Amino acid sequence: MHHLFGLVLGQKDLSRAGDLFSLDDAEIEGSLSEALEQIRIISSSSDYQTNDNDQAVVEICITRITTAIRETESIEKHGKALVALWESCLEHKLKPSGKDEDTPHAKIASDIMSCILQNYNRPPIMALAVPVAVRFLQRGNKELCRNMSSYLSLAAISNVDLLVDHTDAIVKSVLQGNSMLLRVLPSLYEKQPQSINSHLKELVALMSQLEQAEQHHLLRVFQVVARRKQPEVLKECIPFLISHLRDPHHNDIILNILIEISDYEPVALASSLPMLKEIGESFPSLIGQMSKIFGAVGHLDEIYDEVIITYYTGPSYLVDTASTKKYDPS
């Protein structure tokens, strides 16, 4: 280890810690993994959470180390030690106190998180980091969770396979209110549908609590489900989806989902025709698209034709399109 790092960390000498910034990055690069291990030992001591001097020394050293790693582009060399320090934070309290201040170990986790996860396009580093990152999602620190989710979303764009084994944890985090991770669910569904299928009803129930962009990400999940022709897993969600047809921001994507289902499993929509009827009467602009659903259901056997005629005596265009029989309202 570089002698100055050895002095500062070995003696926890805060007065000399600032001198680390006077050294060239290349001069200390070879010592960074060893310094990270020493920081892990210090931060794991029983009195660390109450020792302001040690916390200050660690904070300064981490800043110097992460700067040197970025400048020397040596993340592959020191990634293992960096992730080990990051993971050690999980053994300590991370949830903020009543005054909403980060705990000492939450500060360490936050300080090194970006250094690790900004390398979301480097699979070897992310293979080390992702299993640790998802564990932070359940530790009660909302700010840490939010930032972690942002980086995990970028990782999913670069290589969704890195997150597949953690689909259950991600879905659980979403259901607990971490709506930022909704954006990764469509990609994860393509790889791991079983882990999401069992929670579709819970997910669609979140719609009213979400911002518009988040609702769009959620609806994309249902779009993927519909395209994979799995009406049995969507059956309980269809009434929830239809209830949101009144939202002009999303009625187009919802109608596309319903039309997709009607193409291969129209019977799944038969019981929802009264609700579609009511919405069509209130929003005539949707009738053109809705007619495709009524038409698909109308090609079923006689019982479903009767359902359409009985429940939909509204616009004649829908009745004529939906029914395969001649129907005289008079």
Give the per-residue SS3 of the chain: CCHHHHHHHHCCCHHHHHHHHHCCHHHHHHHHHHHHHHHHHHHCCCCHHHCHHHHHHHHHHHHHHHHHHHHHCCHHHHHHHHHHHHHHHHHCCCCCCCCCCCCHHHHHHHHHHHHHHCCCCCHHHHHHHHHHHHHHCCCCCHHHHHHHHHHHHHHHHHHCHHHHCCHHHHHHHHHCCCHHHHHHHHHHHHHCHHHHHCCHHHHHCCHHHCCHHHHHHHHHHHHHHHHCCCHHHHHHHHHHHHHCCCCCCCHHHHHHHHHHHHHHCCHHHHCCHHHHHHHHHHCHHHHHHHHHHHHHHHCCCHHHHHHHHHHCCCCHHHHHHHCCCCCCCC
pLDDT value of position 202: 94
Q: Is the dihedral of CA 168, 171, 176, 180 positive or negative?
A: positive
Q: Is residue 142 part of a domain?
A: yes
Average pLDDT over residues 149-159: 87
Residue type, 94: L
Q: Is residue 257 part of a domain?
A: no
Dump pLDDT digits (tens) for 266-323: 888 888 888 898 898 888 888 888 888 988 887 765 444 544 444 444 444 454 444 4
Residue type, 76: E
Length of the chain: 330
- Nearest 5°: CA angle at 253, between 252 and 257? 120
Per the prediction, the chain carries an average pLDDT of 87
Q: Is residue 228 part of a domain?
A: no
User: How many angstroms separate the CA atoms of 237 and 110, rounded?
Assistant: 38
Q: Is residue 112 part of a domain?
A: yes
pLDDT value of position 197: 92
pLDDT at 111 over 80: yes
Which CATH number belongs to the domain containing residue 80 in this structure? 1.25.10
Residue 98: pLDDT band (50, 70, 90) is: low
pLDDT-above-90 percentage for the chain: 58
pLDDT at 45 over 50: yes
Q: Is residue 167 part of a domain?
A: no
Range of the domain at 48: 1-162
Q: Is residue 70 part of a domain?
A: yes
Residue 99: pLDDT band (50, 70, 90) is: low
Number of domains observed in the structure of the chain: 1
pLDDT at 174 over 70: yes
pLDDT-above-70 percentage for the chain: 90
Dump pLDDT digits (tens) for 191-206: 999 999 999 999 999 9
Q: Is residue 190 part of a domain?
A: no
Dump pLDDT digits (tens) for 47-93: 999 999 999 999 999 999 999 999 999 999 999 999 999 999 999 99
Q: Is residue 301 part of a domain?
A: no
